[in-house]
Amino acid sequence: EAYELTLAQLPEGRAILGSQASMTLTIPANDDPQGVLGFDPSSYALPIGEVAVANLTLRRTGGAFGIVSVTWATQDGTATAGADYTSSGGTVVLAAGQRSLLLQVPLLVNPVAAPVRTFGVVLAQPAGGARL
């Protein structure tokens, strides 16, 4: 939004206005006051057998007004829940002003060498005004 700001002449002797007595004041829109939720980074690479937990950062960009929530769940790719990782998920809540949250997915150590495996983590049902 834009507003016209005009300065008025004060009574004698208090102040003198210069040649520019008005200006345009622009207030930028904040289209996402509750924020946009996503992972940062959007993909992770973990060394097999060296890490017991995948720590995933859920990031809130844009605004951070109000309490928001989102559901999340793991999803098999080439990795299988129960064999390569523990199926995880639920609903997480970010407080007003909170910009990030750590989600954890336990990994199952497989002593047998195997090709690279992948699984996904899906966000859904943002609430409180946030979006994905």
| Bigger pLDDT: 57 vs 9 | 57
Q: Which tens digit of pLDDT belongs to each residue from 18-62?
A: 777 677 877 766 678 999 999 998 888 877 666 789 999 999 999
Angle at 106 between CA 100 and CA 109, to 5 degrees: 140
User: Is 70 exceeded by the pLDDT of residue 15?
Assistant: no
Q: If pLDDT is split at 50, 70 and 90, which confidence band does 124 have?
A: very high
pLDDT at 87: 97
pLDDT score at 20: 73
Q: Which amino acid is at 18?
A: G
Q: What sign does the CA torsion over 70, 32, 63, 75 have?
A: positive
Residues in the chain: 132
Pairing relation of β-strands 89-94 and 68-76? antiparallel
> What pLDDT does 123 receive?
97
pLDDT for res 14: 66
pLDDT digits (tens, 9 = 90+) for 66-107: 999 999 999 999 999 999 899 999 999 999 999 999 999 999
